[in-house]
Chain A
């Protein structure tokens, strides 16, 4: 402890360079000084933190899809809105 107090800046410098310093009080370990732990984050979390990805719940079991009583050609509508939305004629 006394050694640490006397040379705190030296030990902090060592820690910042990767050393791990065990602090003892009367031969009993009481603390440890080391470099900050690098948090392991997934690529998704990293992109989300950078504002490059909006994370969804991904809780597929909660998805409820109703059945329609008729066939709807939704792919044709998608093609239309992608290519030529003007071909929609109002009824």
Chain B
């Protein structure tokens, strides 16, 4: 099972070079619903700074919605919030903590199906690694 944060989703959406989460038949990809907010905000920002025109923005928003509809998405529920509130061994941003807590819950539920945490954000990677998660896509 692959857990993706928004950086992993956006790498696929913008066909960025470098390692990206394998989207193969039979491969399960899961995420927190937080990804929906982060990814749409990042696309909007590209429009605001002029990197995307209206046509490209509309296309990317549609493709993002299609991609998100393929993922299993976990709501930010009480369990995720409780997990994110727990102490980390490193300094962690609030949103990163939500991703890590969500991945931990999914890993616990999916006994026997090892979880890979895909991110291309170094701070997110450190946060996930600090809790013992297997991190992919980052140095």
Taken together as a complex, chains A and B put the C-alpha atoms of A59 and B25 apart, in Å, by 7
Taken together as a complex, chains A and B put the C-alpha atoms of A44 and B24 apart, in Å, by 18
A78 lies within 8 A of B73 (CB): no
Known contacts being A81-B38, A88-B45, A91-B50, is A56 close to B70, with CB within 8 Å? yes
Contact bitstring A33-56, B, C-beta under 8 A = 1, else 0: 000000000011011000111111
Query: Which segment of A3-11, A15-23, A24-32, A61-69 sits at the interface?
Result: A61-69
Known contacts being A58-B29, A61-B25, A82-B38, is A43 close to B111, with CB within 8 Å? yes
Taken together as a complex, chains A and B put the C-alpha atoms of A88 and B41 apart, in Å, by 12
Q: A75 in the interface, Cβ–Cβ < 8 Å?
A: yes
User: Which residues of the partner chain B approach A85 to less than 8 Å between Cβ atoms?
Assistant: 41, 45
Taken together as a complex, chains A and B put the C-alpha atoms of A91 and B46 apart, in Å, by 12
Q: B89 in the interface, Cβ–Cβ < 8 Å?
A: no
A89 lies within 8 A of B16 (CB): no
User: Which residues of the partner chain B approach A44 to less than 8 Å between Cβ atoms?
Assistant: 28, 72, 110
Contacting B73 at CB < 8 Å: which of A46, A56, A70, A72? A56
A78 lies within 8 A of B110 (CB): no
B51 lies within 8 A of A53 (CB): no
User: Which residues of the partner chain A approach B50 to less than 8 Å between Cβ atoms?
Assistant: 91
**12 other A-B residue contacts (CB within 8 Å) besides A56-B73, A64-B66, A72-B14:** A44-B28, A44-B72, A60-B25, A65-B13, A72-B46, A75-B121, A77-B45, A77-B46, A82-B93, A82-B95, A88-B45, A88-B49
Q: Give the A-binding residues of B (Cβ under 8 A).
A: 6-7, 10-16, 23-25, 27-30, 33, 38-39, 41-43, 45-46, 48-52, 56, 59-60, 63, 66-75, 77, 79, 93, 95-96, 109-111, 113, 120-121
